[in-house]
Amino acid sequence: MEGTKRDLAIALFLQLLSLVSCLDRSQFPPNFLFGTATSSYQIEGAYSEGNKGSSNWDIFSHIPGIQPFATLNHYDIPQELEAQYGAWLSPEIQKDFGYFAEVCFKAFGDRVKFWLTFNEPNVLVKYDYLSGHYPPGRCSKPFGNCSFGDSTTEPYIAAHNVILSHAIAVDIYRRRYQVKQGGSIGVVISTMWFEPLRNITVDQLAVQRALSFDIGWIMDPIMFGDYPLEMRKVLASRLPTFSSEEKKLLENKLDFIGINHYTSKYVKDCMISPCEVDDYNGNALVFSTGDRNGVPIGNPTSVENLYVVPYGMEKVVMYIKQRYNNTPMYITENGYPDRSDDSLSISDLTNDVERVEYIHGHLTALSSAIWKGADVRGYFLWSLLDNFEWLMGYTVRFGLYFVDFKTQERTPKLSAKWYRNFLKDSNLLLNKNEDSDLQDLAH
């Protein structure tokens, strides 16, 4: 009886969701790409380990039925480079990254038509060298309490080397591979939308500064050849400069921008009236928060500081459209986290109504941006499977498929079925013949 009530409630929820917003596949261009995102380190299997021979399914399943977007660097790096010369803190890495990129272009370029140099380099340098949350764990007070590092200079040195590594990889691809392989190359930026905490000028300026220290930090040099003025004003000599030769290299720019977007926050100015800065946006001299006067900016999730704010998707896309001359964009990550709870049944863990609502809301906002002229060409959900979520480990689940981490059994969640139907049908508007289909979705 309880299961029947739950199924009915879910079906009614989906019906209401569809009727309220009228979201359907036809609201996106015919050639718009939909997909899901994964990271090799987080989910890779072991089909060829232990001297196992190939089965017919190993061969069959590795035939391309998908369009790969290959990322050259997704946070991790060989420890040998860390030990030899300090990884991203040394310009030596630019040459090594170029070698690595060319190996990949040469080996896989006949099958990969979309290349990404880096995944979220703005997160990489902040967590590696500002707060010290990620390896090599370098930071200094007040941003973190590490045994070594300097949060006032090292993030900018590292970012400089990342940006020039990107430029070298793009240059190699442009000169030696792009024409004959017919592919394109870009970079993925982590994006958070910001709203002023108070309706005053200093907080409105703080929003622009926070965006410059987050998105502009990486994208402005790639697109314009130099860092944002807001960064120069705050950091002065702490921000590296590009030589004329390096600026020439940066003229290659990129073919598209990958956008990872999950949430939005409020920001408060800490430049005019000093306040406690946070360890993510702190060098922008702002304080970020998820609530205003005790009211959250959106529904909280199981991950701290990740709120459900669908309108942020449209706003961040329109910001990038305007700032970077409507360069083609792909939403390379967007997703909703559930807490991994062993006390819940599989049925409860797979009936992820909140994720369906999250995806629905963000796709609606994205559709609005496209209709306003934003050149967005694809949307990929994070993630296909529940997986290892870096510092959060296996405590949260982003997947469309539930993974039993003990048995490795995979079960489609309600969101997987909703997404399938969204892509299969031209719309999700209900008619009297679709009630049974929705009941099907809930099972």
Known catalytic residues are 333
Q: What is the dihedral of CA 196, 202, 208, 214, to 10 degrees?
A: -80
- Are 415 and 399 in contact by the 8 Å Cβ rule? The answer is no
User: How is the chain split among helix, strand and coil, in percent rounded to 5?
Assistant: 45, 20, 35
Read off the DSSP letter of residue 270.
-
Please name the residue that has the structure tokens 């300026």.
205
Return all residues near 123 (Cβ < 8 A) that are at least 6 apart.
190
- Are 163 and 222 in contact by the 8 Å Cβ rule? The answer is yes
Read off the DSSP letter of residue 283.
G
- Are 98 and 91 in contact by the 8 Å Cβ rule? The answer is no
The phi, psi pair for 290, rounded to 5°, reads: -95, 0
Beta bridge partners of 348: none
Q: Which residues of 236-274 are buried (b: 16+ CB within 10 A; e: fewer)?
A: eebbbebeeebeebbebbbbbbbbbbbbbbbbbbbbeee
| Residue from 256, 223, 182 nearest 33 by CA | 256
Q: Strand 376-382 to strand 329-333: parallel, antiparallel, or no bridges (unpaired)?
A: parallel
